[in-house]
Chains A and B, each alone.
Chain A
Amino acid sequence: MIDWGWIQRNLAMIGSLLAEHVVLSIVPVLAAFVVSIPLGYLVFRTGRFANVVLAVFGVIYSIPSLALFVVMPVILNSKILDPINVAAALTIYSIALLVRSVVDGLRSVPSAVNSSAAAVGFGRTRQLFRVELPLAMPVIFAGLRVVTVSNIALVSVGAVIGIGALGELFTIGLNSGFLTPIYVGLVLSLLLALIADAIILLIQRGSLPWARGRRTA
């Protein structure tokens, strides 16, 4: 059923597709994480207006990824076959989702906690970094896990327009009616998602000891 010989002969190719897959899915998560925390905080601070912004992000999130991949060259003035299109589109999705998590996380901080911090003399900045963000982190991490896992699944869609990382194994299999590359692509993509999810969970456990007992995701 699985042609192990084919896998052995193509190990180098599979390895480089896997590496490309990791880069195209994880770099957008990191970029989005860096952007979403300040952006999410700004959106949160707008109060009622925040829901409008989140609704707009929701609409962006509903655009199918293939459509976004194809439109990116117009926005970025890039070539159609440039992998930056896939990375940029996934960054947009990741931001659209993570900003929502940041806002939800900040909203979940009880107002009594904030008042107490203010009462003991915390300034606005110290309150944000020492109280609000740490308490919001479990929700943000939950969003991070969702974004990472779905990015890893989405990268292979790029194969339709010629930039698919592991998705290119699906193209090879489809064009030759040969199942082995398809299985390899599916298994590696699922494994990668599983491992990335586990790593984020470990980072969360290690860096947010105060959230260990709380069930967030």
Chain B
Amino acid sequence: MGTGTEDGMIWSYLLDPANWTNPDGGILILLAQHIAYTVLSVLVAAVIGIPAGILIGHTGRGRFVGIGLSNAARAIPSLGLLVLVVTLLSNNIGPIIGVLAILALPPILTATAAGVSGADPEAVHAARALGMTGRQIIGKVEWPLALPLVISGLRSATLQVVATATIAAYVSAGGLGRLLISGQATANYPEMFAGAVLVAALAIVLDLVLGLIGWLAARRSSPGRAAEMAFAAGADAGQGDVGARPVSAST
């Protein structure tokens, strides 16, 4: 199969407005599906992962479970998990969101736990000395200090989900990956190329937006130290320990 690069037509599918508005699988519909998958599954993962991460970070218990989880999660072939769940259950929205949420959970959980347990111990001791209860310490001290790292966890989770939602089209679940699959089935490289460009653009835009939100949160919560923490979160990709800006981003 040729790539179609010779005749310079690779942009043709993307630039044809009819392909955007087509009511049966047009780009706008697929994009909406893709975003819906992403938002729903990150939300589900956050509802579970943030409280669990706070608990682990605040008590210091189960920290190794959290770290082990995020390292092991990196080894999971997301396509295999998706195919397994779809074959066992169905390719309805429920199982798909379930798989995406499972893949989004580790980065959120570990980043939250790292943020809470990494909150400046002097601030925590001061809060305790002032007579704050455990709940108040979490809400007024640890959580605000952890927020930049939590956002960076949400950012990694979002990238992971955007990438995996692309693969969802392989089990006939829609989303932008559909352009890749149907383009390949009909030897239409411009269609595949359009899908690839759109998915990449979506991932990059979401990454930059969440990166900006994280940066603003870091400046707000504590201009000196937290900004440093958020920067370190971005810089520790190679450490695999905190896993705050991990590596499972691409799938």
Contacts and interface: CB of A to CB of B under 8 A. Distances in A.
A190 B250 contact: no
Contact of B247 (A150, A152, A157): A150
A167 interface: yes
Given A139-B238, A174-B86, A70 B74 contact: no
Contacts of A153: 74-78, 248, 251
Interface in B124-152: none
B180 A150 contact: no
Nearest to A190: B75
B41 to A, nearest CB: 15
A45 to B, nearest CB: 17
B251 A80 contact: no
A83 interface: no
B244 interface: no
Interface string B233-248: 0111111110000111
A100 B204 contact: no
Interface in A17-38: none
Nearest to A169: B80
A186 B74 contact: no
Contacts of A58: 207, 234
Contact of A161 (B75, B84, B184): B184
Contacts of A149: 71, 74-75
Contacts of A140: 238
B177 interface: yes
Interface stretch (B19-27, B49-57, B113-121, B189-197): B189-197
B36 interface: no
Interface in A133-161: 139-140, 142-143, 145-147, 149-150, 152-154, 156-157, 159-161
Contacts of B248: 150, 153
A149 to B, nearest CB: 5
B200 interface: yes
Contacts of B247: 61, 97, 146-147, 150
Contacts of A97: 237-238, 247
B193 A177 contact: no
A157 B200 contact: no
A66 interface: yes
Interface in B218-232: none
B interface majority secondary structure = helix
Interface residues of A, number: 65
A91 interface: no
A199 interface: no
Nearest to A157: B79
B162 A64 contact: yes
A62 B80 CA distance: 21
Interface in A45-94: 54, 58-59, 61-68, 70-71, 73-74, 77-81, 93
Contacts of B1: 79-81
A135 B83 CA distance: 43
A179 interface: yes
Given A59-B207, A74-B3, A100-B237, A67 B197 contact: yes
Nearest to B169: A160
A167 B241 contact: no
Contacts of B250: 61-65, 68, 93, 150, 154
A61 B180 CA distance: 20
Contacts of B189: 73, 80
A146 B240 contact: yes
B53 to A, nearest CB: 20
Interface of A: 54, 58-59, 61-68, 70-71, 73-74, 77-81, 93, 97-98, 100-101, 104-105, 139-140, 142-143, 145-147, 149-150, 152-154, 156-157, 159-162, 164, 166-167, 170-171, 173-174, 177, 179, 182-183, 185-186, 189-190, 193-194, 197, 216-217
Given A160-B177, A189-B77, 4 more contacts: A140-B238, A146-B247, A154-B251, A161-B184
- Shortest beta-carbon contacts, A-B, top 3: A101-B238, A143-B238, A64-B163
23 contacts: A54-B235, A59-B207, A61-B250, A63-B203, A63-B250, A66-B163, A67-B197, A68-B196, A71-B196, A93-B250, A100-B237, A100-B238, A149-B74, A150-B74, A154-B77, A154-B250, A156-B79, A160-B79, A170-B83, A189-B75, A190-B77, A193-B74, A217-B239
